[in-house]
Amino acid sequence: MLWKLLKYDFRAMVKSFAILWPASLVVALVNRFTIPFDQPLDNELLAVVTMVAFFSVLFAMCVAVLIFIVQRFYKGLLGDEGYLMHTLPVRTWQLVASKLICALVTSVVSIAVAILAIIILFPIKWETVFNLATFRALWAALTRRPDIPLFITEYSVLFLCGILLCITTIYLAIAVGHLFQRHRVVMSVAAFIALDILGSVYIDVLDGLNLFNAIAAQNEHMIAWLVSGLLLIPSGIFFAGACGILHSRLNLE
Amino acid sequence: MSETLITCRGLTKTYGRKTALAGIDLSVGRGKIVGLLGPNGSGKTTLIKLLCGLIQPSAGELAVDGKPIGPETKAIISYLPDRMYFANWMRAVDLFDLFRDFYSDFDHERAIAMCHSLGVEPKDRLKTMSKGTKEKVQLVLVMARKAQLYLLDEPIAGVDPAARDFILRTILTNYNEEGTVLISTHLISDIEKVLDEAIFLKEGKIMLHETVDNIRQTQGKSVDALFRDIFRAQPLEGGEF
């Protein structure tokens, strides 16, 4: 059933970002040919306008991702669409998991599009990249540190865990706000602030234990996995909390 | 399969200090068309939402087909809410695909046929449809299922008398006769002729649960007339009705 839910959540995602993702790439491409990075600017005004347009698209993308995450959960499960979703023969955790996976993928793809847009925008001298010396230096670095791909994997996982925590914090905050009869949005914002403070306290406590330095001294690969694990714990709790509230205290008045 | 389709024992629902349902006991069998009748605020929608799992009871027990509310009961309930519940970017056929994916009793071909008979183009986007057409799509979604329990929340409220007949005819010609239809409304005269049983709700309590034949026989009046007697508002001092 989760796969079936994902199918519809991903379709909603594509509908929401069908214009924004290509638009940011197109604006980057326009900038690429408008701004002569390696020459003095002939038309500074045009360059400024296009740069502003580009960063506006990126900013809009960040805002759109945030709105998408909030809206898909709030309107999709606690608004009018909730009348459809909560009457489907599925478990509550499947509804929340589907939204969560979709939000995670949306965030990652948006970041990838942003990086791609920047690569398009700033001219890369491929002749330098494909220069034998460059490859030689890269190969030397990789042979010195053959675990670089592992590091990249570890920190990518850590990054994903960070996004996961952000999304589950938003979900739990919205679910907590739903417990109140009135001022649900205000209570959700208050819950988000409270959860954020709680998260900071959690990190401070862990930091106080001097765990990270001790583990890094033992095995530098352990640190990213450890931090990922430590981020997954509150993410799991927040996810379970949001599911619990929606399961036992759902109140679509 | 349980003989009783809906069972409520001491079912209570409160919203803050307001009691919407006050410990009701109710049993509804299979193969019936039941009117859930009462004025606004009597608890009709609350009871239907509890049966769908959209709200949780404050106290008491509730079962459909002998099971507590959950995915198993949702699989056999077809619910028509009192509002639009779909995203505007979808088309009717997208919703039919969704229902086919989740409900094994959804008849896709019948849904398309119903659309054509109701004058709805299933490939049109919902956002381009009028409110009335969207309501028809929602009605098609509900009635194209061979459900055990149809929960129809005010299906004829806010429409003209001709449309009421049209909606009722659609319901009556499409529901699964082995299942039960629970229709909430306060427009009793329009649906009285199709009802097998009537449940009168007042201030969160069941005032009466009887077959329509028995009401006519014992009370010597129609369900509509009895409803007016029970729920007649008291005029203000000096006022008259």
Q: What is the interface pTM, i.e. ipTM, of the complex?
A: 0.90
Residues 6+ apart with CB under 8 A from A154: A221, A224, A225, A228
Q: Within chain A, where are the H helices?
A: 2-17, 20-34, 44-78, 82-85, 92-121, 126-129, 132-144, 148-178, 184-208, 211-218, 222-248
DSSP state of B75: T
**Dihedral sign, CA of B48, B54, B57, B58?**
negative
Is B159 at the interface with chain A, CB within 8 A?
A: no
For residues A100 and A69, the answer to whether their CB atoms sit within 8 Å is: no
Measured in residues, chain B has a length of 241
Interface check A232 vs B, CB under 8 A? no
pLDDT given for residue A169 in this prediction:
96
Q: Can you give the pLDDT at residue A203?
A: 82
Closest CA to A59 of A14, A94, A24: A24
A210 CB within 8 Å of a chain B CB: no
B66 phi/psi in degrees, rounded to 5:
75, 5
Report residue A250: phi and psi, to 5°.
-60, 135
Contact by Cβ (8 Å): A58, A114: yes
**Residues on chain B touching A249 (C-beta within 8 angstroms):** 56
Lowest mean pLDDT among A9-23, A164-178, A231-245, B160-174: B160-174
Q: Which residues contact B176 (CB under 8 A, 6 or more apart)?
A: B105, B145, B146, B147, B148, B150
A vs B: CB pairs below 8 A: 60
pLDDT in the model for residue A129: 59
Please indicate whether, in this complex, the C-beta atoms of B83 and A83 are within 8 angstroms of each other.
yes
Q: What are phi and psi of B197, to 5 degrees?
A: -135, 160
Dist. CA A58–CA A17, nearest whole Å = 13
Q: What are phi and psi of A217, to 5 degrees?
A: -65, -35
Residues on chain A touching B81 (C-beta within 8 angstroms): 83
**Residues B147-205: pLDDT tens digits?**
999 999 988 776 677 777 778 888 888 888 889 999 998 888 888 888 999 999 999 99
- Minimum Cα–Cα distance from A78: chain B residue: B54
pLDDT of residue A215: 75
Is the predicted pLDDT of residue B241 greater than 50, yes or no? no
Per-residue pLDDT tens over the stretch A54-68: 677 778 888 889 999
Residues of B in contact with A252 (CB under 8 A): 49, 54-55
Q: Do B54 and A87 touch (CB under 8 A)?
A: yes
Domains recognised in chain B with CATH numbers: 4-83+144-230 (3.40.50.300)
Domain boundaries in chain A? 12-124, 127-253
Q: What's the CA angle centered on B110, arms B109 and B116, to 5 degrees?
A: 95
Tell me how long chain A is: 253
